[in-house]
Amino acid sequence: MKRIYTCFLILVLLLCGGCSYGKTQNENASSSCDIFAMDTYMTLTAYGKNSDRALEEAENRINELDKKLSTGSPDSEIALLNKNGSGKLSDDTLYLLDKSLEISKETNGAFLPTIYPLMEAWGFPTKDFKVPDDSVIENCFSLFDTDLINENKKEGTVSFKKQGMKLDFGGIAKGYTSNEVIEIFKKSGIENAIINLGGNVQTLGKKPDGSLWRVAIQSPNEGDEYLGILEISDKAVITSGGYERYFEENGVTYHHIIDPKTGYPADNELVSVTIVCDDGLLADGLSTALFVMGLDEAIQFWQNHSEMFDVILMTKDNEIYVSDGISDLFSTTYEMNVIER
C-alpha cells in the first residue's frame, strides 16, 4: 500500500509542477502608451498612481522634440538651419549641438554630427538608396570640419562657415528624448518605468516587484534567439547594428552606419554594439561611435572611460565581449569574453 501512496505523491507533484504558472496578478497600477514619432515606434510603460498624467506629459514632450529635431520636416529648426546655413536654435537644439560636439571630440570623430550631407548622398534620409560616386564622397569630406560651426551662445544662433554643411542630431536625439521622458517620470513621482524608443531602452528604478528589468538584445543573426539578456535598473540600454537599416545594390549590402573616415558603411569585426549607461544621450552617441571604431579601439575606449558606461560587443565570428561592470548581469548562449578594466 505504501508504494501506491508514493505513486500518488509522484502524480500529484508532477501535476502541480505543470500548473504552477500563470497566477501572477499585478497589484500595481500601470499605464502604457504607443507613439509614432521621430520616424520610429515608441512604447512607454510607467507604474504608480500618477502614471497616466506622466505619460501624457511625456508624449507631449516627445512630439515637441520631434518637431524641433526632425531633419525630414521642412520647417523644423534643424531643417531650416541646414537649408539657410544659419538660424536661431532653441535651448534643446543648442544643448544637442554642444553634446554632439563633445562626443565627437571624445571619440575622435567616430561620432560626427556634420555627417549629414554624406547620409543624403547615400539616400538614407529619403530612402532613395544609392552608392555615391567617389567625387561626391570627397566633396562631403570637406563639409565635416566641426570647427566651421559658428555658435553665438548669447544670441542662440548658429551658422556654418562653409556652404553645404548640414547637421543631424539623429544619432543622439532619441537618447536625449529618453532622458527627458525619464526626467518627467521622476518629477511626477514615478519610481518604476521602462521605455523603448525604436529599440533604445531606458529604465527607471526596478520592476514594481523589486526585481531587475530583463532587457533582451536583438541578435544580428536571423532566426536566432536573442544575442543575450541583461538585467538592469536605472539604466539606458542602446544597441547599434548594421542589420536594422540597410539596402542592397548589385548583391552588396550597405548598412546605415557610415564611417566618417572612409565615407562607406563601417566594415570591421563588429556586428553589434550595446552601450549600458545612466545617460541615454551618451549611450546613443557612443553605440554608433564604438561600432565605427571596431573591436580593438572600442575595447580601448571603454578601458579609458570605464566609469562612464558599460559595453557589450559582438563580432562577425559570433564572439561576445562584455565589460566587467555588467558581466554578472548578462547571460548569453554565445561564447562570452569579459573585458577587464
Partner 1 sequence: MNKKDIMLMITMLLIAGVCYLISNLTRNENGNQVKVSVDGKIYGTYPLYEDREIDIKTDKGNNVIVICDGSVSVKNADCKDKYCVKQGHVSKKNESIICLPHKLVVEITGKNEADKAIDSIAK
Binding site for partner 1 (CB under 8 A): 3-4, 7-8, 10-11, 14-15, 17-19, 21-22, 24, 26, 34, 36, 39-41, 43, 127, 194, 196, 199-201, 207, 213-218, 222-223, 226, 229, 237-239, 241, 244-245, 274
Collapse the DSSP code of 236 into the 3-class scheme (helix H, G, I; strand E, B; otherwise coil) and give the result. strand
Q: How far does CA 113 lie from the centroid of its chain?
A: 16
Rg of the chain (C-alpha set): 23
| Of residues 194 and 290, the one with the C-beta less far from partner 1 | 194
Sequence-separated contacts (24+) of 297-301 with Cβ below 8 Å:
298/270, 298/273, 299/339, 301/107
DSSP one-letter code for 258? B
Residues 296-310 as b/e (b if ≥16 CB within 10 A, e otherwise) read: ebbbebbeeebeebb
Q: How far is the CB of 40 from partner 1 (least distance, A)?
A: 7
What residue type is 264 in one-letter code?
Answer: Y
Report the run of H or E that residue 37 belongs to, with start and end.
strand 30-37
Q: How far is the CB of 99 from partner 1 (least distance, A)?
A: 21
| Of residues 131 and 149, the one with the C-beta less far from partner 1 | 131
Residue owning grid cell 501512496: 5
Collapse the DSSP code of 332 into the 3-class scheme (helix H, G, I; strand E, B; otherwise coil) and give the result. coil
Q: How far is the CB of 83 from partner 1 (least distance, A)?
A: 24
What residue type is 188 in one-letter code?
Answer: S
Q: How far is the CB of 16 from partner 1 (least distance, A)?
A: 10
| Of residues 29 and 340, the one with the C-beta less far from partner 1 | 29
| Of residues 167 and 275, the one with the C-beta less far from partner 1 | 275
Q: How far is the CB of 339 from partner 1 (least distance, A)?
A: 19
What lies within 8 Å, CB to CB, of 289 at 6+ separation is 103, 107, 110, 111, 301
| Of residues 20 and 250, the one with the C-beta less far from partner 1 | 20
| Of residues 99 and 174, the one with the C-beta less far from partner 1 | 174
Q: How far is the CB of 213 from partner 1 (least distance, A)?
A: 5
